[in-house]
Amino acid sequence: MVHDNASVTNPTTSLGDAHIEVKDLVVQYGQVTAVRGVSFAVRLGEQLTLLGPSGCGKTTTLRAIAGLEPPTSGEIVIGGVPVFSSAKRINVSAERRGLSMVFQSYAIWPHMTVFDNVAYGLRVRRLGARDIADKVRWALEMVQMGDFAQRSASKLSGGQQQRVALARAFVFSPSVLLFDEPLSNLDAKLRAEMRIELRELQHRVGITSVYVTHDLEEALAISDRIVVMRDGVIEQVGTPFEIYNFPRDAFVADFVGSANLIRGRHRPECGRDGLIALETPGGTLVYGTTHGRPVGADGVFSVRTIHLGLSREAPAAQANLWSVRIRRRVFQGDLTQYHVDWEDRQLVVRCTATDPLDEGEQAYLTVDPHRCVLLEAERTTA
């Protein structure tokens, strides 16, 4: 199965090596339902990311796993032990779930030193002073903060605070690490660095982790699998590669990087080489791949802006080759974005800026049919 959504469609099916299982989770605040029936599983040692726009319920889901937000109904199982179950009336308090969490606001205690912050979880567990000192040193070395142990926590920069928060979270070897948008308060450059560091750290420590973010690049960079959420439900579950290349519906296609959507009537008689053809309202035939999805009478292709190509000379393409006029050009640094007239609409193309085309110029637009991915039929109206 291409889409790892067995647990979505059939919540009773559990993965063999599942570390965390969330089943039919519903969270309501008064009249507002933040999470409406979410089911997924996190494998042992896996880094899973909940991705979605603000208000999609991703943070609420994370906090429900943590035990900081009481769910309305559903079940949460960690390491085979139910920590929440509305049916069995189980609700293990957050401090007894054996998890750990890194907060968006870092939540570093300003009245303690860096050492005391990191040592906190060890002291709670009543470790000996020597053991504590060793572990804290190890954890601080891990996040490259070894020299800061005696510094007052209130005198650290944002990036340093986040490193301390991270050390504090994994120093006592929790079974699961939860991340609530931990990098969103850092500047872009630091964020990019921390992303790679987090990924490396996760590999070294090997802890199962659930990560919440609204940042696509972050999700793609650090995740083993991504759960895309919207309005309290799961839109798609898959590896970063699957999510990016084979979005299931228009929302995911658009949210996970910019995409052009091309609608058309299915022309089965024009299909060839395992490709299908859609005829647009303007009569243009566009070839694409179904990616194993059923085709109805009509269909929608998602085409990433980066996969479309523009050139002055006609390339040797068999299908999906059109002559277009450049309407607008936007220089974006690494890439240049073109808006081209195509039928009675515009398509957005982004390509490297080596030989820029001018506005008003005629050019050839082409796209590999394998990059035109059919969306799932019942979801295209979204």
Partner 1 sequence: MLGSFSAALVLGLPARFYVITTAMYQMLAQYPPRFPLAAAMGVSLFAVMFAMLFLYRRIVTAGSYATITGKAFRPRPMHVGKLRWILFGICAVYLFVAAILPILTVAFASLQKLAVGRPTWQSWTLDNYVTALSLDAVRSALWNSLLLGLGTATIGVLFMGLLSWIIYRSRIPGRGVIEYIVMFPQAVPRLVFAFGMLWAWLSFPFSIYGTLWLLLIAYLTVFLPLGVRTISSVLLQIDKSLEESAQMCGASWGYRLRSVTLPLLRPGVIAAWLLLFVASVRELGASILLTGPNAKAITPAIVEAWFSISTELTAAMALIQTLAVAVALALLFTFARRASQYGGE
* Smallest gap from residue 297 Cβ to partner 1 (A): 50
Q: Binding residues for partner 1, per CB under 8 A?
A: 66, 68, 70, 94-96, 98-101, 103-105, 107, 109-111, 120-121, 124-125, 152-155, 165, 168-169, 172, 178
CB nearer to partner 1: give 26 or 250: 26
73 to each of 25, 320, 359, how far by Cα in Å? 6, 49, 56
Which tokens is 316 given? 């040797």
CB nearer to partner 1: give 35 or 165: 165
* Smallest gap from residue 378 Cβ to partner 1 (A): 39
Which tokens is 94 given? 């957050």
CB nearer to partner 1: give 151 or 379: 151
Which amino acid is residue 286, in one-letter code? V
* Smallest gap from residue 130 Cβ to partner 1 (A): 20
- The rounded distance, in Å, linking the Cα atoms of 177 and 332 is 37
DSSP, residue by residue, 167-230: HHHHTT--SEEEEESTTTTS-HHHHHHHHHHHHHHHHHH--EEEEEES-HHHHHHH-SEEEEEE
- Cα-flanking dihedrals φ and ψ of residue 59, to 5°? -70, -40
Which tokens is 87 given? 């049916």
* Smallest gap from residue 18 Cβ to partner 1 (A): 22
* Smallest gap from residue 353 Cβ to partner 1 (A): 36
Environment class of residue 43 by beta-carbon count within 10 Å: exposed (0-12), middle (13-18) or buried (19+)?
Answer: middle
CB nearer to partner 1: give 66 or 363: 66
CB nearer to partner 1: give 213 or 289: 213
DSSP, residue by residue, 51-102: E-STTSSHHHHHHHHHTSS--SEEEEEETTEEEEETTTTEE--GGGS-EEEE
CB nearer to partner 1: give 182 or 240: 182
* Smallest gap from residue 99 Cβ to partner 1 (A): 7
* Smallest gap from residue 343 Cβ to partner 1 (A): 45
Give yes or no for a contact between 25 and 38, defined as CB atoms under 8 angstroms apart: yes
CB nearer to partner 1: give 70 or 360: 70
219 to each of 79, 165, 242, how far by Cα in Å? 24, 20, 13
Closest-CA residue to 136 (of 161, 111, 113, 109): 113
Which amino acid is residue 121, in one-letter code? G
Residue linked to tokens 């000996």: 128
CB nearer to partner 1: give 70 or 292: 70
Radius of gyration of the chain (CA): 24
Give yes or no for a contact between 137 and 149, defined as CB atoms under 8 angstroms apart: yes
CB nearer to partner 1: give 35 or 169: 169
CB nearer to partner 1: give 172 or 244: 172
* Smallest gap from residue 103 Cβ to partner 1 (A): 4
* Smallest gap from residue 185 Cβ to partner 1 (A): 12
* Smallest gap from residue 19 Cβ to partner 1 (A): 17
